[in-house]
Structure 1
Amino acid sequence: MARKKKEECKAPPAWLTSFGDLMSLLLTFFILLYSMSTISLEKFYQAIKGIIEAFGGHYVVYEERVIRGKNVPVQMPNMYPKMKSRKEIEEKVHKIRETLKALGVDSEVAKYGQSIRLRINTDKIFPLGSDKPYPEAIPLIMELCKKLKELDLPLTIEGHTDNTPIRNGRFPSNWELSAARATAVLRLFIQCGYDPKKLSAAGCGEYHPIAPNTTPEGRAKNRRIEIVIHLPM
């Protein structure tokens, strides 16, 4: 009786044949779809524009260059901004405080988590009950803006008052006065060239005191503008 010839290798499992046929059919199907497809240049430009702007670049893609397959020059000056350390920012803010002190304006620096607050007394900046800065205070605010522009960080400008009631035709309460003072400083910052997208203003009235309102000294300390510097994450 003849001996059965030994198989050199095992036969592939039955499912592998069906799987191979499926992959071949899928590949053929996608090649067919691709051959019938058309590229929407408008959607392509929109996608490229979104990617470039997300990385801080300028949209400079031209149709003829894309079609001809040439390299597209993309300018991205802000793609890798130099991040300042917290220590550098704190040193800069303390230098600003020293400058204010030399000009006779009381101020202090407070740290709160991801922000630094520069508290500036308003007695030499605004007349009592007014949101219009003294003429001699405007250059001081502009100089303050120039120094903060070097940090290029988002700022919130807060107005604060003491608890002395105010009732006049312009400001029915300290809420309105504090908000108007914060907005007045914000407008000067915009004139100085600070990016408006990085600025916001808030009026806090008398409700966030940093000293008791029971003494003239305490009330004077509560009359202030706070520039909140939001630190990078």
Structure 2
Amino acid sequence: MARKKKEECKAPPAWLTSFGDLMSLLLTFFILLYSMSTISLEKFYQAIKGIIEAFGGHYVIYEERVIQGKRVPIQFPGMYPKMRSRKEIESKLSEIRQMLQKFGIQSEVSKYGTSIRLRVNTDKLFPPGEDKPYPEAIPLIMEMCRKLKELDLPLTIEGHTDNVPIRSKRFPSNWELSAARATTILRLFIQCGYDPKKLSAAGCGPYRPIAPNNTPEGRAKNRRVEIVIHLPM
């Protein structure tokens, strides 16, 4: 019978294999941390600049102090916009309505969830079938802009008409007329100093009436411009 060969060394315990794997992972982890600790100033600056611009900032002053952990002057003029309450917005719209009422211009305010609409009748703002305002109406539009500019909120200016068809050389339909009137008011707002990035215009023609078009009163109510104030979420 053959003699069993004696083992030269004992097999390692089972736990030692797991322990070795753990040490290897820890070593890899610390090597990774060390590699990340070597910062390229140029890449670091580019990353910081991208974050600042994403949050509304404009630039960062790049100095050696960035790595030393000291403060860096950063401008964030648009990062934290001043929040406006509904009460403040409604108060400003009430001022505009009172001003328009003094000149015999009908207006009303409608609330729709995340927006508030100021509806202004256009009979005393624009001549029939025209997109150029009456001369005496331009100061009123500019004053409306000055008051709304204090809110500093995004606006959409919508033009609306009644269902009486228009066919002229400039305006083949009411749709073009409503769009032209909305754009005219938008341009006056830009002249007044409203931020163009917060303005947009739309022409709706006769397709969104707020009153029946079968009476003169209803048609007059549908001839309007709506200034849609978009509320912050």
Compute the TM-score of the two structures, normalised by the length of structure 2: 0.85
Match of 1:6 in 2: none
Match of 2:21 in 1: 19
Match of 2:210 in 1: 210
Q: Is the aligned partner of 1:156 residue 2:156?
A: yes
Q: Is the aligned partner of 1:140 residue 2:112?
A: no
Deviates more, 1:79-88 or 1:187-196: 79-88
**In the TM superposition, what is the alpha-carbon distance from 1:15 to its structure 2 partner?**
4.2
**SS of residue paired to 2:119:** strand
Q: Supply the RMSD in Å over aligned alpha carbons.
A: 2.3
1:147-171 deviation per Cα after TM superposition (whole angstroms, max 9, x unaligned): 0011111100000001111001100
Aligned residues: 221
Structure 1 counterpart of 2:212, which letter? Answer: P
**SS of residue paired to 2:157:** strand
Q: Which of residues 10, 29, 32 in structure 2 aligns to 1:30? A: 32
Cα 1:38–1:229, aligned 2, differ >3 Å: closer, same or farther?
closer
C-alpha separation between the residues in 2 aligned to 1:66 and 1:48? 10
C-alpha separation between the residues in 1 aligned to 2:99 and 2:56? 34
**In the TM superposition, what is the alpha-carbon distance from 1:95 to its structure 2 partner?**
2.1
1:112-147 deviation per Cα after TM superposition (whole angstroms, max 9, x unaligned): 111111000001110000000111111100000000
**Structure 2: gaps spanning 5 or more residues:** 1-12
C-alpha contact (below 8 Å) 1:45/1:61 kept by paired residues: no
C-alpha separation between the residues in 2 aligned to 1:86 and 1:74? 31
Structure 2 counterpart of 1:194, which letter? Answer: Y
**Structure 1: gaps spanning 5 or more residues:** 1-10
Compute the TM-score of the two structures, normalised by the length of structure 1: 0.85
**In the TM superposition, what is the alpha-carbon distance from 1:52 to its structure 2 partner?**
1.7
1:3-51 deviation per Cα after TM superposition (whole angstroms, max 9, x unaligned): xxxxxxxx9933442134213431464367458x66160x323221122
Cα 1:117–1:28, aligned 2, differ >3 Å: closer, same or farther?
closer
Structure 1 counterpart of 2:28, which letter? Answer: L
Match of 2:76 in 1: 76
Match of 2:40 in 1: 39
Match of 2:53 in 1: 53
Deviates more, 1:51-60 or 1:147-156: 51-60
Identity of aligned residues (%): 71
1:115-134 paired onto structure 2 within 5 Å: 115-134=115-134
